[in-house]
Chain A
Amino acid sequence: MPARPTGLGPAGWLRWAWRTLTSMRTALILLALLGLAAVPGSVLPQRGVAFDPNAVVGFSQEYPRLAPWLDRLGLFEVYSSAWFAAIYLLLLVSMTGCVMPRCLRLWRAARSDPPRAPSNLTRMSGYETWQTDGPAEDVLHAAAVELRRRRFRVRVDGATVRAEKGYLREVGNLLFHLSFLLLLFGVAAGALFGFEGRVIVAEGAGFSNVQAQYDEFTPGPLAGQGGLAPFSFTLEQFTASFEPTGPQRGTPRDFRADVVVRRDPSASAEPVAIEVNHPLEVAGTKVFLTGNGYAPRVTVRNGGGEVVFAGPVVFLPLDANYTSEGVVKVPDVGSTQVGFEGLFLPTAFVDPQNGPSSLFPDALNPQLFLTAYTGDLGLDNGAPQSVFALDKTNLTQVTDDGKPFGRAMGVGETMTLPGGQSSLTFEGVSRFANFQVAYDPGKEISLVAAVMLLVGLTASLTVGQRRIWVRVRPGNGDVTEVEVAARHLTRREAKITELTDLARAVGRPHEAVAPVTIQPDHASNPGSEKRER
């Protein structure tokens, strides 16, 4: 950290603040903070993280005193919180402030000659000297040719050859750092102009890509509402297969949604299979298969035997064997409204202690366990309500002889409410699929940034930047004294024999001294030179 200025004006303080922010020490502290700040988000439930949308609600119910405080600190939205953003934005500013001057320096270095030889070459990280009878020009010429062959930048300057190689290291370094700015751009583009939606579609049902059809829709602030790709599809069939036997019995093996899609209203219908890892893509919008479950088909009749409701009802799975729960809401039964609530079990088993549950994910012995409620479903008061739960404020449970009325039904069976006011028939089993629909116009930018990041990182870690000097001067008598020296600017060690090979190519006698081990020259590491303030 630079020394704190005393008695400086505002400009001096600004300058000090900027130098502090762009120092390596600050960058390191910010990096450490960024790592630590990401931890709470993996431990506490988060809003907007795909896994469980209700996790925060559940946590708040469990810890009613703690949750509001955590919420005030932004701990349920760590990755979009102000303090998390502050850390990474400061880090990006610090990084840019450090990298920009280095860009400039690289530009200048690439346009100017390799630097002059230091007066004392023996202090370099590699050094050899010998005497030769030949003319000095021949040595210099041979050295220049050899160095050029080794793809050094070479400049012959009087009695010295100066050469430098490995600019790619710094290019890579800058590419790596600048890729983060591009990545930020890509992430921002996706967050601002993209959207993400979730929808459940039962077999036989359709979906059109308009906001109203989504169960859950999270658009970016600038996402074009009218601009959703105008496609639609119908889920013809959903196929699931599970390991039937063996130790991994019941483990899912294959999920497949056969849909018929119209890519735009005028396009013809086209059958497509959407599978896990194989999304459907329409005009940049992708439709992913993210889950599935059962939708038992039921028919509800009123007291007069008229059909008042028919169709598949989505029951949400509770466990890996698809023990599922759901409700059937029937507002038009007659004088009252009826709601059914209960479980669907694809392979039913009733445990005397734990009650009914499913033993296998496939529909081997499907049963529907329902109880009924009558009264007001609360659908007319305008408040949005879940389609997967009954609002029981104005409902009373139907009883039979004072006990709650309930039935277990196999396919084809019917339950009739006491008094015969209505009945529900379990017609059969359909499946449903959860689709996630995503549009992210920034993802290509992010991919380019990721490639830049990786290429830049690899180059900056594998390429070693080094300088080599060859100097001749008249020795005793007719001989010429030759000195070769190398200096490594990076920690990365180049081939240790590089200097020896050069010396040999230039004409050093074979019996000359053993090569000096090339040690990386820490003190001259440009990284440390730049940012050790």
Chain B
Amino acid sequence: MTQLFAQLSNMLIYSAITVYALAMIAYAAEAAMRVRAPVPRPAPVPAMAGAVSEPAPRDGDPPGLGRPGRRLGGVAVSLTMLAFGLHVASVVARGLAAGRAPWGNMYEFATAGALAAVAAYLAFLRRQPVRDLGVWIIAVVTLTLGLAVTVLYTPAGALVPALNSYWLVIHVAAAIVSGGIFTVGATATVLYLLRERSDRRAGAGTRTSAATRRGYAAHLPPAATLEKVAHSAHVLAFPIWTFAVIAGAIWAEDSWGRYWGWDPKETWAFITWVFYAAYLHAQATAGWRGRKASWFALAGYTAFVFNFFGVNMWITGLHSYAGV
């Protein structure tokens, strides 16, 4: 029975990867169709305010998109949802196969983390026209899952004694959820920076003399929308990440006798936390909000990703048993 669930989980994850890859192609094709259509140049106003002047499009449809493009976008989202369903089933089957929470090693953390990222993306998509995030998020997810099934793969099984604690469920789940939301935040931040730069250049008239702008960045959602999505994602994820770090400290106290020992994993969790804290503070500071603050968010995400891949693979520490 266990074996059956384990095999089922593997089959489902391969199916999910395939459908995600198709979704990614659909998103990319949609973006390509959109970029071919010129958009009106916004009025030359200062960068931050300039973005607001554009009306927010509805239903996740970016401006200047013809009917075929819209249909393609719809297909991409439907494929994403299908893949998400397969992905959920795979993670659940993995949990049933192992008889525990399915995030006890690096393979499981990667698959569950990717799942959280897609879930966060779909949740944001319901509220904001952010289908443009799709191609990037699904690309990251497909890559992560590809790495998971090849490099990180570990067969389903019981845990080493050090991980055998209910804190694994709490601490790691919080890290996974915040990681998923941070992924949406980071993607939105990158697109915001692209769009903001494009707006600035168009506003300053340095790049284009024509009345229309071409290029990928010019067809992204308005900078204000992207910035809002990035900000809400970080505001949502930051307390969850804080909780993950605190839960980790409590577990460490119960397992190693000290709640903070500057183990590499702890150190990078701290670095991640500090950069995201700097981001939120910068967002509340005139002169730093927007572009400058965004770099803090990206630094935080880099630290987060390094903590997962880099620290597990290259640096030895107490968390090393997490296992490749």
Q: How far is the CA of A43 from the CA of B267 in the complex (A)?
A: 10
Minimum CB distance partner of B162 in chain A: A276
Distance (whole angstroms) from the CB of A71 to the closest CB of chain B: 17
Is A454 touching B242 in the complex (CB atoms < 8 A)?
yes
Is B287 touching A450 in the complex (CB atoms < 8 A)?
no
Q: Which residues of A contact B71 (CB under 8 A)?
A: none
Please, what's the 1-or-0 string for B141-183, where 1 marks a CB less than 8 Å from any CB in chain A? 0000000000000110110111011010000000000000000
Distance (whole angstroms) from the CB of B286 to the closest CB of chain A: 4
Is B239 touching A458 in the complex (CB atoms < 8 A)?
yes
A266 contacts partner chain B, Cβ-Cβ < 8 Å? no
Is A246 touching B270 in the complex (CB atoms < 8 A)?
no
Distance (whole angstroms) from the CB of B250 to the closest CB of chain A: 7
B140 contacts partner chain A, Cβ-Cβ < 8 Å? no
Stretch of A114-122, A379-387, A440-448 lying at the B interface: A440-448
Which of B154, B250, B258 interacts with A440 by CB under 8 Å?
B258
Please, what's the 1-or-0 string for A422-466, where 1 marks a CB less than 8 Å from any CB in chain B? 000000000000001110100100110010011001100100000
B316 contacts partner chain A, Cβ-Cβ < 8 Å? yes
A251 contacts partner chain B, Cβ-Cβ < 8 Å? yes
Is A49 touching B263 in the complex (CB atoms < 8 A)?
yes
Given A38-B271, A437-B257, A450-B249: A254 and B317 within 8 A (CB)?
no
Given A49-B263, A247-B155: A42 and B162 within 8 A (CB)?
no
Determine which residue in B161, B299, B316 has the highest number of CB atoms from chain A within 10 A of its CB, and name it.
B161
Is A35 touching B275 in the complex (CB atoms < 8 A)?
yes
Q: Which residues of B contact A437 (CB under 8 A)?
A: 257
Q: How far is the CA of A330 from the CA of B256 in the complex (A)?
A: 35
Distance (whole angstroms) from the CB of B236 to the closest CB of chain A: 8
Minimum CB distance partner of B288 in chain A: A28
Q: How far is the CA of A469 from the CA of B244 in the complex (A)?
A: 41
Distance (whole angstroms) from the CB of A432 to the closest CB of chain B: 16
Q: Which residues of B contact A24 (CB under 8 A)?
A: 281, 284-285, 288
Minimum CB distance partner of B266 in chain A: A42
How many A residues face the partner with a CB closer than 8 A? 59
Is B284 touching A528 in the complex (CB atoms < 8 A)?
yes
Q: How far is the CA of A25 from the CA of B281 in the complex (A)?
A: 10
Distance (whole angstroms) from the CB of A278 to the closest CB of chain B: 8
Distance (whole angstroms) from the CB of B321 to the closest CB of chain A: 9
Given A35-B303, A50-B318, A51-B316: A454 and B239 within 8 A (CB)?
yes
A277 contacts partner chain B, Cβ-Cβ < 8 Å? yes
Is B255 touching A277 in the complex (CB atoms < 8 A)?
yes
Is A42 touching B264 in the complex (CB atoms < 8 A)?
yes
Q: How far is the CA of A39 from the CA of B270 in the complex (A)?
A: 10
B246 contacts partner chain A, Cβ-Cβ < 8 Å? yes
Distance (whole angstroms) from the CB of A291 to the closest CB of chain B: 10
B15 contacts partner chain A, Cβ-Cβ < 8 Å? no
B262 contacts partner chain A, Cβ-Cβ < 8 Å? yes
Q: How far is the CA of A41 from the CA of B167 in the complex (A)?
A: 26
Minimum CB distance partner of A275 in chain B: B161
Q: How far is the CA of A78 from the CA of B260 in the complex (A)?
A: 14
B7 contacts partner chain A, Cβ-Cβ < 8 Å? no
Distance (whole angstroms) from the CB of B135 to the closest CB of chain A: 28
Which 5 pairs across A and B sit closest by C-beta, in order of nearness?
A438-B257, A527-B284, A532-B286, A31-B278, A35-B274
Interface residues of A (CB under 8 A from B): 24-25, 27-28, 31-32, 34-35, 38-39, 41-43, 46, 49-52, 78-79, 187, 196, 243, 246-248, 251-255, 275-277, 279, 286, 288, 290, 436-438, 440, 443, 446-447, 450, 453-454, 457-458, 461, 491-492, 522, 525, 527-528, 531-532
Q: Provide 14 A-B residue pairs closer than 8 Å at the C-beta atoms, listed in order of the A residue.
A: A24-B281, A28-B296, A31-B274, A31-B275, A38-B274, A42-B262, A43-B315, A49-B263, A51-B318, A248-B154, A277-B164, A277-B165, A440-B253, A440-B259
